[in-house]
């Protein structure tokens, strides 16, 4: 499931801040939840190792160190992305566990 790590460069246009980038990450979370829920359906709506593997892969990709830019801003963005990804996986995991316990 894991692809080789790719490096990427974030070039923030003039005036765009980490706060703007954080806002974009937050805006993408509903789409991420929809995608994870679709994957859950393919796995029988059961939590399991697939969900742990997905979380590991998502966080791994979020931790790619971007080249260029201010290191502190990139670290902040990386931390925000990691927290949002983990939160999305946790939300779906909790939903699946709650459904199993009904």
Above 80 in pLDDT, residue 77? no
- Percentage of the chain exceeding pLDDT 70: 69
Q: Interior CA angle at 77 toward 76 and 78, to 5°?
A: 90
Q: Going by C-beta distance under 8 Å and a sequence separation of 6 or more, which residues neighbour residue 38? A: none
Which pTM was predicted?
A: 0.71
């Amino acid at each position: 499931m894991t692809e080789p790590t790719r490096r990427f460069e974030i070039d923030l246009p003039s005036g765009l801040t980490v706060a703007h980038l954080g806002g974009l990450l937050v805006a993408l979370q509903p789409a991420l939840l929809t995608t994870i829920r679709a994957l859950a359906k393919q796995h029988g709506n059961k939590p399991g190792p697939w969900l742990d593997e997905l979380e590991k892969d998502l966080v791994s990709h979020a931790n790619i160190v971007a080249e260029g830019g201010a290191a502190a801003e990139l670290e902040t963005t990386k931390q925000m992305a990691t927290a949002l990804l983990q939160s999305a996986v946790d939300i779906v995991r909790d939903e699946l566990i709650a459904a199993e316990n009904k």
